[in-house]
Amino acid sequence: MHSDNDHKRDTIAAIATARGEAGIAVTRLSGPGSREIADRVLSLVAPLRDTPPRRMRNGYLLDENGDAIDQVLAVWFSSPKSYTGEDVVEIHTHGGTLVASKCLELLICRGARLADPGEFTKRAFLSGRIDLTRAEAVLGIIRSRSTEALRAAARTLQGELATFASDIYQELLDLSGGLEASLDFPEEDLPERDDDELLLSVQAVRQSLEDLLDRCSAGFLLREGIRVAIVGRPNVGKSSLLNALLRESRAIVTSIPGTTRDLIEDVITYRGIPLRLVDTAGMGGAPVDEAEAIGIARAEAAFESADVRIWVVDGSSIPDEFDRVMADRLSNLEYVVALNKADLPSGRDERGRTAEELMAELLPAGTLLRISAKYETGLEALKDSVVASIAGAGTLDAGLNASARQVDEVKAAIDSLKEASMVLGNGLGHDAAAACLAESRLAMERLLGISRDDALLDYIFSQFCVGK
Amino acid sequence: MPVYDKKYDVIVVGGGHAGCEAALAASRMGASTLLLNLSLDNTAMMPCNPSIGGPAKGHLVREGSALGGEQADAADASAMLIRMLNTSKGPAVRAPRAQCDLKEYERHFRLKVQTQKGLDVRQEKVSDLWIEEGRARGVRTLYGYDYEASAVVLATGTFLGARVHIGPVSLSSGPLGQEPSNELAASLRSAGLAFRRMRTDTSPRLHVDTLDLAELTAQESDEAPVSLSLWGEGRVLRDYRCYMTRSNPRTHDIVRGNLDRSPLSMGWMRGEGPRYCPSIEAKVINFPEKQSHPVFLEPVSRSNREVYVQNFSTSLPLDAQAEMIHSLPGCGRAFITRPGYAIEYDCLDSTELSPWLEVKKVAGLFCAGQLNGTSGYEEAAAQGLLAGINAALRARGDDPLVLRRSESYIGVLVDDLATKGSPEPYRMLTSRCEHRLILRIDNAGRRLAPLGRRLGLLDDDRWRRINESWRRVDSELERLGRARVAPSDGLNSDLAGVGSSPLTETLFASDLLRRPEVPYSLVARHSPPSDPPRGEEVVSVEVEVKYRGYIDRQERQVERMARMEDVRIPPGLDYSAIPSLLTESRQKLAAVRPVTLGQAGRISGVTPADIHILSVWLDALSRRSGENEAQGRP
The DSSP secondary structure of B189-231, one letter per residue, reads HHTT--EEEEEEEEPPEEEGGG--GGGSEEE---SS-B-SSSS
Helix (H/G/I), strand (E/B), else coil: B169: strand
The DSSP 8-state label assigned to residue A58 in this structure reads E
Among the partner-chain residues A132, A189, A431, the one whose CB lies closest to the CB of B92 is A431
For B:300-339, CB contacts with A below 8 A are: 310-311
Distances (CA, A) of B437 to A439, B226, B429, B434: 13, 21, 14, 9
Whether residue A80 is preceded by a cis peptide bond, meaning omega within 30 degrees of 0, is yes
Q: Is A189 on the interface with B (CB under 8 A)?
A: yes
Question: In whole angstroms, what is the distance from residue B609 CA to residue B584 CA?
Answer: 13
pLDDT digits 0-9 by tens, B350-362: 999 999 999 999 9
β-strands A308-314, B79-85: how paired? unpaired
Long-range contacts for A349-356 (Cβ within 8 Å, ≥24 apart)?
Answer: A349/A318, A355/A313, A355/A314, A355/A315, A355/A316, A355/A317, A355/A318, A355/A319, A356/A315
Mean pLDDT of A158-173: 84
* Helix (H) or strand (E) segment spanning residue B58: helix B57-66
Q: Which of B56, B589, B151 is nearest to B356 (CA)?
A: B151
pLDDT at A253 over 60: no
Q: Is A468 on the interface with B (CB under 8 A)?
A: yes
* Helix (H) or strand (E) segment spanning residue B392: helix B377-396
Nearest CA-CA distance, residue A100 and chain B, Å: 24
Please tell me the predicted confidence (pLDDT) of residue A19: 54
Q: What angle do CA B388, B599, B13 make, to 5 degrees?
A: 20
Mean pLDDT of B364-385: 97
Q: Between these two residues, A392 and A440, which has the higher pLDDT value?
A: A440
When mean pLDDT is compared across A278-282, B57-61, B269-273, B532-536, the lowest value belongs to A278-282
Question: In whole angstroms, what is the distance from residue A32 CA to residue A35 CA?
Answer: 8
Q: In a 10 Å sphere around its CB, with 0-12 CB exposed, 13-18 middle and 19+ buried, how is residue A2 labelled?
A: middle
Q: Which amino acid is at B41?
A: D
CB B17 within 8 A of CB B381: yes
CB B267 within 8 A of CB B259: no
Question: In whole angstroms, what is the distance from residue A49 CA to residue A271 CA?
Answer: 34
Fold of B477-551: Arc Repressor Mutant, subunit A (1.10.10)
CB–CB contact B89 A8 (8 Å): no
Helix (H/G/I), strand (E/B), else coil: B164: strand
Q: What are the φ/ψ torsions at residue A207 (nearest 5 degrees)?
A: -60, -45
pLDDT digits 0-9 by tens, A47-88: 999 999 999 999 999 988 888 888 999 999 999 999 999 999
Q: Which of B493, B491, B551, B488 is nearest to B525 (CA)?
A: B491
**pLDDT > 70: what percent of chain A?**
83
Among the partner-chain residues A136, A428, A465, the one whose CB lies closest to the CB of B579 is A136
Please tell me the predicted confidence (pLDDT) of residue B386: 98
For A:121-140, CB contacts with B below 8 A are: 122, 125-126, 128, 132, 135-136, 138-140
- Best residue in B297, B431, B556, B614 for a mutation probing chain A (most A CBs within 10 Å): B431
Please tell me the predicted confidence (pLDDT) of residue B448: 98
B396 pLDDT tier (thresholds 50, 70, 90): very high
Q: Which amino acid is at B335?
A: F
Q: What is the complex's ipTM, to 2 decimals? A: 0.90
Question: In whole angstroms, what is the distance from residue B240 CA to residue B125 CA?
Answer: 38
pLDDT digits 0-9 by tens, B14-36: 999 999 999 999 999 999 999 99
Please tell me the predicted confidence (pLDDT) of residue A280: 76
CB–CB contact A1 B93 (8 Å): no
Considering only alpha carbons, which residue of chain A is nearest residue B577? A136
Question: In whole angstroms, what is the distance from residue A398 CA to residue A400 CA?
Answer: 5
Q: Between these two residues, A461 and B394, which has the higher pLDDT value?
A: B394
The DSSP 8-state label assigned to residue A234 in this structure reads T
CB–CB contact B294 A189 (8 Å): yes
Considering only alpha carbons, which residue of chain B is nearest residue A186? B86
Nearest CA-CA distance, residue B178 and chain A, Å: 24
Q: Which of B353, B16, B329, B356 is nearest to B155 (CA)?
A: B16
Query: Which residues of chain A neighbour B616 with C-beta distances below 8 Å?
Result: 122, 125-126, 135, 138-139, 142
CB B360 within 8 A of CB B207: no
Residues in chain B: 634
CB B602 within 8 A of CB B415: yes
CA atoms within 13 A on the CB side of B266: 16
Domain B567-630 is found in CATH 1.10.150.570: yes
CB–CB contact A431 B90 (8 Å): yes
3-state SS, one letter per residue, for B269-292: CCCECCCCCCCHHHHHHHCCCCCC
Nearest CA-CA distance, residue A383 and chain B, Å: 32
Mean pLDDT of B138-156: 96
Considering only alpha carbons, which residue of chain A is nearest residue B617? A135
β-strands B146-154, B8-13: how paired? parallel
Q: Which of A95, A122, A139, A173 is nearest to A12 (CA)?
A: A122
Q: What domains lie within chain A, and their CATH numbers?
A: 3-130 (3.30.1360.120), 148-468 (3.40.50.300)
Q: Is B56 on the interface with A (CB under 8 A)?
A: yes
pLDDT digits 0-9 by tens, A15-35: 887 655 556 788 999 999 999
Helix (H/G/I), strand (E/B), else coil: A291: helix
**Cβ count within 10 A of residue B445:** 26
When mean pLDDT is compared across A266-275, A361-370, B294-303, the lowest value belongs to A266-275
Phi/psi-derived region of residue B462, left when phi > 0, alpha when psi is between -120 and 50, beta in every other case: alpha
Considering only alpha carbons, which residue of chain A is nearest residue B519? A428
CB–CB contact A465 B287 (8 Å): yes
pLDDT digits 0-9 by tens, A205-251: 999 998 888 776 545 556 667 889 988 877 788 888 888 888 765 43
Q: B477-495 burial, b if ≥16 CB within 10 A, otherwise e? A: bebbeebebeeeeebeebb
Number of H helices, E strands in chain A: 15, 14
Query: Which residues of chain B neighbour A465 with C-beta distances below 8 Å?
Result: 278, 283, 286-287, 290, 293
Query: Which residues of chain B neighbour A8 with C-beta distances below 8 Å?
Result: 559, 562-563
CA atoms within 13 A on the CB side of B201: 34
Helix (H/G/I), strand (E/B), else coil: A93: strand
Nearest CA-CA distance, residue A179 and chain B, Å: 10
Query: Which residues of chain B neighbour A463 with C-beta distances below 8 Å?
Result: none
A–B interface: beta-carbon pairs under 8 A: 163
Residues in chain A: 468
Q: Between these two residues, A290 and B411, which has the higher pLDDT value?
A: B411
Q: pTM for the full model?
A: 0.85
Among the partner-chain residues B90, B294, B550, the one whose CB lies closest to the CB of A430 is B90
Nearest CA-CA distance, residue A324 and chain B, Å: 38
Nearest CA-CA distance, residue B329 and chain A, Å: 18
CB B533 within 8 A of CB B474: no
Domain ranges of chain B: 8-202+345-451, 205-341, 477-551, 567-630
- Best residue in A431, A446, A454, A456 for a mutation probing chain B (most B CBs within 10 Å): A431
Q: Which of B127, B28, B69, B115 is nearest to B403 (CA)?
A: B69
Question: In whole angstroms, what is the distance from residue B182 CA to residue B142 CA?
Answer: 11
Among the partner-chain residues B290, B434, B516, the one whose CB lies closest to the CB of A427 is B516
Domain B205-341 is found in CATH 2.60.120.10: no
pLDDT digits 0-9 by tens, B580-595: 898 889 999 999 999 9
Domain B8-202+345-451 is found in CATH 3.30.420.40: no
Please tell me the predicted confidence (pLDDT) of residue A7: 41
The DSSP secondary structure of B98-147, one letter per residue, reads EEE-HHHHHHHHHHHHHH-TTEEEEE--EEEEEEETTEEEEEEESSS-EE
Question: In whole angstroms, what is the distance from residue B353 CA to residue B372 CA?
Answer: 9
CB–CB contact A451 B604 (8 Å): yes
β-sheet bridge partners, residue B202 = B341
- Best residue in A184, A405, A416 for a mutation probing chain B (most B CBs within 10 Å): A184
CB–CB contact B613 A457 (8 Å): no
A261 pLDDT tier (thresholds 50, 70, 90): very low
Query: Which residues of chain A neighbour B287 with C-beta distances below 8 Å?
Result: 465
**Cβ count within 10 A of residue A45:** 11
pLDDT digits 0-9 by tens, A284-334: 566 667 767 777 777 787 888 888 899 998 888 888 888 888 888 888 888
pLDDT digits 0-9 by tens, B594-629: 999 999 999 988 988 899 999 999 999 988 887 776
Alpha helix stretches (DSSP H) within B579-607 = 583-592, 597-602
Provide Rg for chain B, Cα atoms: 26
pLDDT digits 0-9 by tens, B255-289: 999 999 999 889 888 888 888 888 999 999 999 99
Residues ≥6 apart with Cβ < 8 Å to B116: B23, B24, B27, B28
β-strands B484-485, B507-508: how paired? antiparallel
CB–CB contact B430 A465 (8 Å): no
Residues ≥6 apart with Cβ < 8 Å to B360: B352, B353, B354, B593
**Cβ count within 10 A of residue B396:** 12
Alpha helix stretches (DSSP H) within B483-508 = 489-497
Q: Is B93 on the interface with A (CB under 8 A)?
A: yes
pLDDT at A6 over 60: no
Nearest CA-CA distance, residue A260 and chain B, Å: 37
Q: Is A8 on the interface with B (CB under 8 A)?
A: yes
Question: In whole angstroms, what is the distance from residue A10 CA to residue B223 CA?
Answer: 51
The DSSP secondary structure of B301-340, one letter per residue, reads -TTS-EEEEET----S-HHHHHHHHHTSTT-TT--EEE--
Give the mean pLDDT of chain B.
94
CB–CB contact B278 A140 (8 Å): no
Distances (CA, A) of A10 to A6, A439, A466: 9, 20, 42
Q: What angle do CA B284, B287, B292 make, to 5 degrees?
A: 65
β-sheet bridge partners, residue A278 = A229, A265
Query: Which residues of chain B neighbour A130 with C-beta distances below 8 Å?
Result: none
Please tell me the predicted confidence (pLDDT) of residue A2: 38
Considering only alpha carbons, which residue of chain B is nearest residue A119? B612
Question: In whole angstroms, what is the distance from residue A453 CA to residue A456 CA?
Answer: 8
Mean pLDDT of B39-60: 95
**Cβ count within 10 A of residue A386:** 26
- Best residue in A125, A136, A139, A445 for a mutation probing chain B (most B CBs within 10 Å): A139
Please tell me the predicted confidence (pLDDT) of residue B547: 92
Q: In a 10 Å sphere around its CB, with 0-12 CB exposed, 13-18 middle and 19+ buried, how is residue A352 labelled?
A: exposed
Please tell me the predicted confidence (pLDDT) of residue B467: 97
Nearest CA-CA distance, residue A395 and chain B, Å: 18
Please tell me the predicted confidence (pLDDT) of residue B430: 95
Query: Which residues of chain A neighbour B51 with C-beta distances below 8 Å?
Result: 468
Give the mean pLDDT of chain A.
81
pLDDT digits 0-9 by tens, B118-137: 999 999 999 999 999 999 99
